[in-house]
Amino acid sequence: MTPTEAETACFEAGIKFGTLYHQFAGTPLSPESAESLGRAMEEAIENQPFCVDVQVTMRTDRIRDELAEMSAAYTEFTGRFADIEMVIEYEGTTVRTSMAMDGDYPMMRVDSVED
């Protein structure tokens, strides 16, 4: 069975999220470096085929809270430190996706599929 265009577009979105998350997980992070890391994530993932837009909103409030608890100067990037939205276009199908915390887990989801 050949995947539909919508299925392929959703697959592409999954590839982009997997790449974004696993490429940057563990990167040293501070409130001062958060915005530049967010821009680097956006620019890196936008290079991939079919990726139209990536918006990374760094949660510096969460970074500061963690650093205060640890009494440290930096921490490591994990999904709890960013809200992410991504738009993928494949053969006339647009997929809108997002990542946000669901309890303790960074949940990546398909928000809409538009033909």
CATH assignment of the domain containing 39: 3.30.1300.20
The domain in which residue 71 lies consists of 5-114
Helix, strand, or coil (residue 95)? strand
The predicted structure's pLDDT at residue 42 = 98
Residues 60 and 34 sit within 8 Å (Cβ to Cβ): yes
**Residue segments in the chain with a per-residue pLDDT below the cut of 50:** none
Q: Which residues contact 8 (CB under 8 A, 6 or more apart)?
A: 90, 91, 93
- The percent helix, strand, coil of the chain (3-state, each to 5) is 40, 35, 25
Q: Number of structural domains, the chain?
A: 1
Q: Measured over all CA atoms, what is the biggest interatomic distance in the chain, rounded to whole angstroms?
A: 55
CA distance 87 to 59: 20
In this prediction the pTM is: 0.93
